[in-house]
Amino acid sequence: MGHERTRQVRGRIELINKWEKQIRPDERSSQDVIDFQLAASRARMEYVQQLQVKNSDDRNISKLRKDVREDLLRIIKINGPHQQPAREMLAQYGLGKERTNEIVEVPKVKNFDEAIKEAASRFETLQNELVTQSTLQETLAKETDENKKKEIRDQLNGVNETINRLQEQSGELYATGLRMFPQGGEMAQLNDARYRLAYIQLLRGNPRGAIAIGEFLSQTLAGDTTGLQAATVALAGYGKLISDADEEAQGRIASQLQPFAEFMVATWPEASQTQMAASTLVQLAMNAGDIDKARAYIDKLPGGSGKAGSLKRDLGARLAAEFFQEKFKLAEGAEMPAALISKRDAAIEVIEAGLKGVTKNDIDARAIDAINSLVRIYLSVGKLDQAFQWINNKELAPVPLLRSKALTVEQVTKMDSYRTALQASISMLSSTSGDAGQNSDAILKEIETLVAELRESAGSDSEGSKRLTAIFVSVAREIQDMIDSAKSPQIKQKLADGLVLLCKQVATSSDEFNTRFWAGRELSNVAAKLDASSSKTKQTLVQESAKLLQGILEKEAEKPGWIDVPNGAMAVRVFLAQSMRQAGQFQEAIDQLTKVLTQKEAALELQVAAAETYQAWGDSGSTEHYVQALDGALNNGKGGRVIWGWRGISKVLQTAMARDPSLKDSFVNARYNVSTVLFRHAQADAAKKDELLGKAAREIGSTRFLMPDMGGPENMKKFDALLKNIQKAQGKEPVGLSAK
Amino acid sequence: MYRQFLSLLCGMLVAAPCLAQDRDRVFLVKGVTATGKIESITPNQVSIAVKGVPQKYATNEISKIVFDDEPSSIDNARNFINNRQYNQAETELSKVAEQKDERINKEVKYLKGVVAAKMALSGMGNPMTAAGLLNSALAANPESHHTYQGAELMGDLAMSIGRSDMAVKYYSQVSQAPFPELKALAAYKLGDVALTANKLPDARKQFELLMSAKATDAETLRLKSLAEVGLTICDAKEGKHKEALAKLQELVKTNDSTDQALFARISNAMGLCYAALGQNEQAALAYLRTDLLFSSAPDLHAEALYQLSLILPKVNEPQEGVAAKNRLKTKYPASSWNNIK
């Protein structure tokens, strides 16, 4: 059976040999012939395997392997769909053993022709070795078996050595040949030798040599194919030079590159290599911040060029990034300068133009960046419909592409895509129009999914974790802004749900105290800003805030010292008390504050928080707590009280102010609250009304005596208004502070 | 019968010296080679009797003279010299024994001087020794048809060791030739000597003299291009670097880049301008162009290597700078560029 199969295969090989002889030289590059040769190589290797089983010393094996290798190397150099399978076969069948490794020493050449002939044969072998090198590198990257990896590495070392030798020898021979070029010799041959020498300079890591020759040839052969090839080598040389240089040198080389790239674009406007030069010019102009120039360079590219679109997308993304950076630096509430607005509009225009006609096949990481940038700009200017149009684009929306695994991108791009979609989904919550307003539950679900995807894409490394936290923080701020400006209670509630979801994610995304504290504090602060019309939303926020802050204290209890910030625990209790107070849990809030105050009585922030809590407790209807708000509570065993109340606070501050004038505002605030509490208590307790109103008015008078300017005009106004209300309640003429 | 044959043979032997000189050959730059008996040779003219009819040729029309009975090694050596394969030429000449024909001995002596001079100018020998050899060959044959080429070579050797005074002497001899192209060559060389010595008005005078020459033959046109570069270098040395660069770029476009010496000179001049303008990257590229593409003119290549050794460290390539310096020392040990402090 084995013999029969071997005979069949041998028959096939004979047939292949016969057909191969009939191939004409001009047919060798046709796809049919290339496909035939791929099949022939497969058949030959099958035959080799059979011969090896029979007799591994068979002399035909080596020859057949060498033939296969040469055929594959030849067809790999021809562009087409066969290149990948040919590379794979080359890797699969082994590369090292049959490699041409017989490189002789540099011969003594007598004239130009001899030198060029010797150089060309080495150049040809060099090309093959470079293919072998990249194939081996690919194979090594994919290989998991350590033994095989070692074998490939050894082969690679051999190939690298050969490449170095070939580069050195062919370079030397071309240089010798150039010196021997005869008067009246063939110019085309001379220029070809010069071009090859430039290419070898590039390979040998001598970019200046490549530029020196490449620029010269491109200028003396402007418009010619060899000139273009030489220009491409020079351009690559510049690329290498720039990538190896320090920042200062990079600028110098870039300014040298610019006129050359401009020359390339002007001389070979239609050539595909020119796109590389134009791309370089666009990058240089962008680096120099010259957007108009960058756009002008893009416009020079041939119409319908895919590269033009891609450069437009790059430029737009760059403009968008600059826009967001500059916007971030603006002071809160500051008006956007006209230049920034035009940068934003230019970003929209350029990205839209760059995305025109783009299909799924054109989408790469940079296109994703451009789409994300565009969506974020649209969201920032409230053009939600345009933003949703891209987010819901069936072919090009980044998140669905990532979910379908049709696209592999780096972590940053991935996270940026989820973040943009998250931002858009949250914006949908605040949208009252169309489907977005009606399907808020579905949107919340989508937010949950996106948050989970963001967390997953962040991975477990510290960089990813930092990035994740930064994203959550920035999105949370955007939601906070939306809550502030939303008019409908329903929308406020949905946005609050979104914010809670996000803050919880922030808290669980990090083990750092600061991050978790930020999440709890953020919810508490947002809740504090809401008025009575948003009580449900407020409740949601304060409850979740309290849970998060409570969780921090529990973690500290489990792992003392986890809160690594001075007075961190105290700050947590202040905000926890704030949340509990907002939730109506007054006793629990006081309990939290007392825990610290029993040990650190003089903590002013906590004393203020405790007085505010008793005051709010009194406001809630339990008027007896107004007394504690004023005079404090809980005996400290030393004749004083653990909680001082507004009166106690103001007394302490009155003395402390002499040493530290910055306490003046706190003192005035305490004095104001003394009168306020008395006034509110008077309103709630008819029996003591007159007495309490009189006290309230007298306290204002005392404050004025202690501090005639009342701490400044703003405070003066506040006290004046309060006094007028007191006077009104007393049935007096509301003359306020103007009464003597 | 036998007696008759013997007498014929004797007659042939007696006639042999005469017959030998009848087959001298004068190869012309253009036209058919003249074969016959050379009657006289001067620096300006060679007279040869072809089938008894005297023919006179100006030495500038002659590409080479091959003497009758000359060993083939001599002509091989001439070809090797033309192909810049001086070692092979030296080997061929060493095979030639002393000849009865003194003209051949003088030719061999001259060619040995030429080989030594060319080797020294390529950095492969001592220019002083070469000058000694060549000078002695020229002195031994003051009426040689090689007189002007010999003087030019002597001038080049003098330049290579920084003796501009001697160079002026030899190039001035060349300028005495009655041929316009040699006058043009001498003007160029004298201009170059003045330029090297920074005597810019003298240099300008010589270059402008050459530019005004009416001759339009290829060699004079080439010399005119070289003179144009020389004038541009004068401009550069006078501080007009930008204008000089524009002119040099124009020359790159309008000249034949197979002329290595011309292009080496242009590239080096560009390097000079860029360096003066503080554009070290561009200066390095210009000198690298000479090094990589136009290195067949030894003095210009040596200059490029020297400049590269100074400029490469300024573009963060100190090791490459040292490598250039080492190559200069190894390749052109006798070059005056090695002695610049």
The predicted-structure confidence for A436-451, as pLDDT tens digits, reads as follows 445 777 887 888 888 8
Measure the CA–CA gap between B309 and B331, rounded to whole angstroms.
Answer: 14
pLDDT at B310: 97
Amino acid occupying residue A93? Y
Tokens of B81: 């010299």
β partners of residue B25: B35, B66
pTM of whole model > 0.80? no
Report the alpha-carbon angle A90-A96-A98, nearest 5. 85
Mean pLDDT across A576-601? 86
**Partner A contacted by B250 (CB < 8 A):** no
Residue B65 in 3-state DSSP? strand
**Residues from chain A contacting residue B281 (CB–CB below 8 Å):** 252-253, 256
DSSP assignment of A600-613 equals: -TT-HHHHHHHHHH
For chain A, how are helix, strand and coil distributed in percent, rounded to 5? Answer: 80, 0, 20
Measure the CA–CA gap between A196 and A438, rounded to whole angstroms.
Answer: 67
- What H or E segment, with its residue span, contains residue A722? helix A713-729
Tokens of A73: 């190397």
Tokens of A102: 């017989």
pLDDT per 10-residue tile (average), chain B, 341 residues: 45 43 89 94 96 93 94 94 89 94 96 95 86 96 96 94 92 95 94 94 95 84 93 95 95 90 96 95 96 92 96 94 94 83 70
Residue B41 vs residues A96, A481, A684, B56, B62: alpha-carbon distances, Å: 68, 106, 141, 10, 12
pLDDT band, very low/low/confident/very high, at A368 (cuts 50, 70, 90)? very high
Largest CA distance in chain A: 126
CA atoms within 13 A on the CB side of B22: 8
Residue A643 in 3-state DSSP? strand
DSSP assignment of A340-373 equals: HHHHHHHHHHHHHHHHTT--GGG--HHHHHHHHH
pLDDT value at A304 more than 80: no
- CB contact at 8 A, A174 and A116: yes
- Of A225, A223, A224, A218, the residue nearest A198 (C-alpha): A218
**Residues from chain B contacting residue A180 (CB–CB below 8 Å):** 83-84, 296
Measure the CA–CA gap between A495 and A71, rounded to whole angstroms.
Answer: 66
Least confident of A229-233, A466-470, B127-131, B168-172: A466-470
Q: Which of B63, B288, B291 to mutate to test the interface with A (most CBs of A within 10 A)?
A: B288
Q: Do B83 and A111 touch (CB under 8 A)?
A: yes
Q: Do A253 and B295 touch (CB under 8 A)?
A: no
CA atoms within 13 A on the CB side of A535: 4
pLDDT at B193: 95
pLDDT value at A84 more than 80: no
Measure the CA–CA gap between B282 and B274, rounded to whole angstroms.
Answer: 6
CA atoms within 13 A on the CB side of A523: 37
pLDDT at A436: 44
Measure the CA–CA gap between A70 and A68, rounded to whole angstroms.
Answer: 5
Q: Which of A208, A219, A224, A267 to mutate to test the interface with B (most CBs of B within 10 A)?
A: A208
- CB contact at 8 A, A228 and A222: no
Residues making up chain A, counted from first to last: 740
Residues 6+ apart with CB under 8 A from A545: A503, A520, A521, A522, A523, A524, A527, A575, A576, A579
> Does ipTM come in above 0.90?
no
pLDDT at A3: 67
Mean pLDDT across A653-673? 89
pLDDT at A221: 92
- Of A22, A43, A44, A42, the residue nearest A33 (C-alpha): A22
Measure the CA–CA gap between A153 and B238, rounded to whole angstroms.
Answer: 59
Count Cβ atoms within 10 A of the Cβ of residue A101 and give its class: 0-12 exposed, 13-18 middle, 19 or more buried.
middle
**Partner A contacted by B246 (CB < 8 A):** no
Least confident of A333-342, A689-698, B193-202, B289-298: A333-342
Q: Do B288 and A219 touch (CB under 8 A)?
A: no
Q: Do B282 and A181 touch (CB under 8 A)?
A: no
- What H or E segment, with its residue span, contains residue A462? helix A462-485
Residue in chain A lying closest to B285 (CA): A212
Measure the CA–CA gap between A515 and A239, rounded to whole angstroms.
Answer: 42
Residue in chain B lying closest to A211 (CA): B285
For residue A405, is it left (φ>0), alpha (ψ between -120 and 50) or beta?
left
Count Cβ atoms within 10 A of the Cβ of residue A142 and give its class: 0-12 exposed, 13-18 middle, 19 or more buried.
exposed
- CB contact at 8 A, B188 and B227: yes
Mean pLDDT across A147-170? 87
- CB contact at 8 A, A677 and A695: no
Residue B214 vs residues A622, B181, B185, B207, B227: alpha-carbon distances, Å: 120, 10, 14, 14, 14
pLDDT at A239: 86
More confident residue, A289 or A715: A715
- CB contact at 8 A, A38 and A86: yes
- CB contact at 8 A, B56 and B45: yes
pLDDT at B130: 95
For all residues of chain A together, what is the average pLDDT? 83
Mean pLDDT comparison of A291-300, A499-508, B108-117, highest-scoring range: B108-117
- What H or E segment, with its residue span, contains residue A678? helix A664-684
Residue A488: CB atoms within 10 Å: 12
Tokens of A680: 């509110």
pLDDT value at A651 more than 70: yes
Tokens of B223: 């010399």
Mean pLDDT across A314-322? 87
Mean pLDDT across A65-84? 76
**Residues from chain A contacting residue B288 (CB–CB below 8 Å):** 208-209, 212
- CB contact at 8 A, B133 and B112: yes
Q: Do A179 and B258 touch (CB under 8 A)?
A: no
User: How would you classify the pairing of strands A633-635 and A641-643?
Assistant: antiparallel
Phi then psi for B37, rounded to 5 degrees? -110, 120
DSSP assignment of A178-222 equals: HHTPPTT--HHHHHHHHHHHHHHHHHTT-HHHHHHHHHHHHHHTT
Q: Do B289 and A197 touch (CB under 8 A)?
A: no
Tokens of A640: 């004083």
**Residues from chain B contacting residue A205 (CB–CB below 8 Å):** none
Count Cβ atoms within 10 A of the Cβ of residue B196 and give its class: 0-12 exposed, 13-18 middle, 19 or more buried.
middle
pLDDT at A303: 53
Tokens of B242: 């930008």
Eight-class DSSP state of A738: G
pLDDT at A253: 85
Q: Do B288 and A175 touch (CB under 8 A)?
A: no
- CB contact at 8 A, A174 and A193: yes
Residue whose entry in the numeric block shows the structure tokens 């230049």: A339
pLDDT at B175: 95
- CB contact at 8 A, B89 and B80: yes
User: At how many degrees (to 10) do helices B147-160 and B298-311 cross?
Assistant: 20
pLDDT at B136: 96
pLDDT at B7: 46
pLDDT at A102: 53
Listed by number, the residues of chain A in 148-187 with a beta carbon closer than 8 Å to a beta carbon of chain B are 175, 178-181, 183, 185, 187
- CB contact at 8 A, A239 and A210: no
pLDDT at A103: 54
Residue in chain A lying closest to B295 (CA): A179
What is the edge-to-edge ordering of all strands in the sheet holding B53-58?
B53-58, B45-50, B34-41, B24-28, B62-66
Amino acid occupying residue A660? D
Phi then psi for A518, rounded to 5 degrees? -55, -45
pLDDT in tens, A385-439: 899 899 888 888 999 988 888 777 888 889 999 999 988 888 887 775 444 445 7
Q: Between A and B, how many CB-CB pairs are < 8 A?
A: 62
Mean pLDDT across A339-358? 88
Least confident of A512-526, A608-622, A723-737: A512-526
Residues 6+ apart with CB under 8 A from A122: A103, A166, A169, A170, A173
Report the alpha-carbon angle A574-A579-A582, nearest 5. 125
Residues 6+ apart with CB under 8 A from B174: B148, B151, B152, B155, B182, B185, B186, B189
pLDDT value at A241 more than 60: yes
- CB contact at 8 A, A729 and A682: yes
Eight-class DSSP state of B56: E
pLDDT at B8: 43
pLDDT at A197: 96
pLDDT at B65: 96
